[in-house]
Amino acid sequence: MSTNDPAVATPGVDRSARYDPRWPEAVEIFDTTLRDGSQFEGISLTVEDKLKVARALDDLGVHWIEGGYPGANPKDEEFFRRARTDLDLSRAIVITESWVMPSSAPAASGGVISTPSRAAKMFSPVHSLT
C-alpha cells in the first residue's frame, strides 16, 4: 500500500514525494531514548534493557545514541562499561553527554572550546572514555 492509496490517505494532505536541492544529501539521527526516554515516571531500564535498546536503535539506522551520563548512577556506569565490549554496532555510536565550563572543555583537537555562553555541551564517544 502506498501513502497515496485512497484507503489510507488523509483528506486534503498531499503525500507525494518532494525534492528540494537545498536539502542535505543525508541526515544523521541523534537519539536520546536511553537518557531522556528513561526518565519518564514508571520507567526503569535495566542495563540489559539499555543494551537491547541500543542494538535496536542501531538496527533502525540511528547514527548517534545518547546513553546517559556514566557518573549519574551505578546502572549508567555499568551500561557504559559494558557498551564498550558487549555492543557490536554497525552504524551507531554510543555517546555520553556532559556540561562543562568553556575554559575547561577540551575540544576534539586538544584545544579549548570557545563559546559565548557560560557552559558548553560536549559529547564523547564511549570508546574514548577511560
Tell which CATH architecture fits domain 30-128: Alpha-Beta Barrel (3.20)
φ, ψ of residue 7 in degrees (nearest 5): -70, -25
What are the grid coordinates assigned to 130, written together?
577511560
36: alpha, beta or left, given left = phi > 0 and alpha = psi -120 to 50? alpha
Nine-digit cell at 26?
543525508
Interatomic CA distance for residues 63 and 43, integer angstroms: 24
Query: 117 phi and psi, to 5 degrees?
Result: -85, 175
Rounded to an integer, the average pLDDT of 22-41 is 86
pLDDT for res 49: 95
Per residue in 73-120, pLDDT tens? 899 889 989 998 999 999 998 988 655 544 444 444 444 444 444 444
Domain ranges of the chain: 30-128
Sign of the dihedral through C-alpha 110, 78, 90, 57: negative
